[in-house]
Amino acid sequence: MKKFSVVIAGGGSTFTPGIVLMLLANQDRLPLRALKFYDNDGARQEVIAEACKVILREQAPDIDFCYTTDPQTAFSDVDFVMAHIRVGKYPMREKDEKIPLRHGVVGQETCGPGGIAYGMRSIGGVLELVDYMQTWSPDAWMLNYSNPAAIVAEATRRLRPTAKILNICDMPIGIEGRMAQILGLQDRKQMITRYYGLNHFGWWHSVEDREGNDLMPALRRYVSEHGYIPPANDAHTEASWNDTFAKAKDVQALDPDTLPNTYLKYYLYPDYVVAHANPERTRANEVMDHREKHVFSACRAITEAGHSAAGELEIDEHASYIVDLAAAIAFNTQQRMLLIVPNNGAIANFDADAMVEIPCLVGKNGPEPLTVGNIPHFQKGLMSQQVAVEKLVVDAWEQGSYLKLWQAITLSKTVPSASVAKAILDDLIDANKAYWPPLR
C-alpha cells in the first residue's frame, strides 16, 4: 500500500495531538511515511510537537517526523496539507466575541461580526498556505478546516481558483453522531443523509438507514422535544455546548420538516443568545482555561517524562472524517461526504457562484457534488442574505474597502442596524490593526 506524507499547518493547535492520535489509529486506511508540523509561532508549536515526537517514537517509529516554521521545509514533498490555523489565536477570538457583545450583538467565533472579523484575518493566512503548497508540492491537496470556513472557502474560490483545496466542517459530523445515538444506531455511517446550506448554516432534509427506510419522522419528533441532547447524555459535553445542542429544539420549530445545524441559533435567536451571554467571559475564555491549559500541560508532562502515559491526551475520534477525506482522494473511494463547494447548479434555485455545503462523492480528482434541487423560500432567503455577507467580506479584503465591510456587517442577520454595524466595525478595525489589510 502506498504511504503518504502529511503536513499539519497550525501544528501548535489544541487539536493537533488528538488528530495525530487519530492518524496513528488509522494507519491501515491512510499509511504515513512522513508527518510534519508547520506553524508561524515556533514556541507554541514546539510544546505540542515535542510531545507528539514522544508518542510517534512509541507507536510508529517508522514515520519520519519533524516540525518547523520554515515554509519550504514544511511544504516540500507532501501529499496532503491538513490546515487548522487560527490567525490571531485565542486572544483575538476573545475580542471577536467581546466587541460585538459590548454593542448588544452576538459575539461568536464564526457567526456575525466576530466571524467577519476572524474572516478578515484568516483569508491572508490560508491563501499563504495555499501558495506554499502550490509552490513546493503542486500535486498535493489541502484539507482545510481553518475557520471561518465559509469566508475562507469563498476567498479561495475567487482568489485561488485552481487550488486543490477542500473545505470541510466537523459540525454536521458531530450532529450526525448525535442523530445516530438518538436512533440507537451504532454510528453515523449507518445513515445516508441529505443536507444543504452554507457552512454553519444548513439543514438536513432526508435521513435514511442503509436499507432506505426514512428516519426523519423519529428524528423530527425527538429533536422537537430534546434538541440534539441524546437519551444517554454524555457528561463529556461542556455546558455551553450542551445549551447549543438543546436550543436546536427551538431552531427546528421554524421548519419542522427539516433538522437544523446548531449554528442557526445565532441567526434565528440572537436576542436569546445575547441575553444568555456573559460579556466578561465568553467561549474563548472557557477554551483558554480548559482545553488549551489541559492540552499544553499534558504535552509538557509527556515531554518531560519521555513517555506518553505521563499526560492525558485524548484521541479525536470524530476527526477520522479527515482520514475519510484523504483516503477518498488517495484511493479514489468515491465516498459520500459533506463539503463546502461552488454551487454550480446543485441547488437549482440558488446562485451558481455561492460556496454551499452539500453532499459530494469524493475521488482522486476531488469532489463531485450531488444534485439538491430546489430549496424552500425560508432557507433560500436566509442563505441569500448570509452568502451576500460572506461575499462582501471577501470584497472588502480584496479591495481594502471600509464600505463593503460596513455593508457586510449591516447585512448580517445578527445585527439590528447600520449604525450599530458601524460602531462595531470601528471597534473591530482598532482591534485588528495588526491583521487586516488597511481599509479606505
Which segments are annotated as binding site? Answer: 93, 147, 169, 200, 283
In the list 25, 60, 159, 171, the residue contacting ligand NAD (rule: CB under 6 A) is 171
Question: Contact between 41 and ligand NAD (CB under 6 A)?
Answer: yes
| β-strand partners of 48 | none
List Cβ neighbours of 221 (8 Å cut-off, separation of 6 or more): none
- In the bound state with ligand G6P, the residue whose beta carbon lies nearer, of 170 and 351, is 170
Residue 395 DSSP SS3: helix
The catalytic position among 38, 118, 195, 263 is 263
Q: For the CB of residue 400, give the shortest distance to ligand NAD in the complex, in Å.
A: 19
Strands 32-38 and 64-68: parallel
Q: How many whole angstroms separate alpha carbon 356 and alpha carbon 172?
A: 14
For 431, list phi and psi in degrees, rounded to 5.
Answer: -75, -25
Question: Contact between 313 and Mn ion (CB under 5 A)?
Answer: no
Q: Which amino acid is at 284?
A: A
- In the bound state with ligand NAD, the residue whose beta carbon lies nearer, of 183 and 360, is 360
Residues in region 103-162 near ligand NAD by CB under 6 A: 125, 145-147, 149
Our answer to whether residue 170 is catalytic in this structure is yes
In the list 159, 171, 192, 288, the residue contacting Mn ion (rule: CB under 5 A) is 171
Write out the DSSP string of 174-203.
HHHHHHHHHHT-SSGGGEEEEEEEETTEEE
Question: Contact between 169 and Mn ion (CB under 5 A)?
Answer: yes
Q: For the CB of residue 93, give the shortest distance to ligand G6P in the complex, in Å.
A: 8
Strands 355-363 and 366-369: antiparallel
- In the bound state with Mn ion, the residue whose beta carbon lies nearer, of 51 and 150, is 150
Residues that bind ligand G6P in the complex, under the rule CB under 6 A: 109-110, 147, 169-171, 283, 287
Structural contact between residues 101 and 111, judged by C-beta atoms closer than 8 angstroms? no
- In the bound state with ligand NAD, the residue whose beta carbon lies nearer, of 45 and 181, is 45
Q: For the CB of residue 233, give the shortest distance to ligand G6P in the complex, in Å.
A: 18
For 340, list phi and psi in degrees, rounded to 5.
Answer: -95, 105
Structural contact between residues 191 and 209, judged by C-beta atoms closer than 8 angstroms? yes
Question: Contact between 66 and Mn ion (CB under 5 A)?
Answer: no
Q: How many whole angstroms separate alpha carbon 343 and alpha carbon 227?
A: 29
For 86, list phi and psi in degrees, rounded to 5.
Answer: -130, 95
In the list 86, 188, 194, 283, the residue contacting ligand NAD (rule: CB under 6 A) is 86
Q: For the CB of residue 22, give the shortest distance to ligand NAD in the complex, in Å.
A: 13
| β-strand partners of 7 | 36, 81
Q: Which residues bind ligand NAD (CB under 6 A)?
A: 9-10, 12-15, 39-41, 44-45, 84-87, 89-90, 125, 145-147, 149, 169-171
In the complex, which residues of this chain contact Mn ion (CB under 5 A)?
169, 171
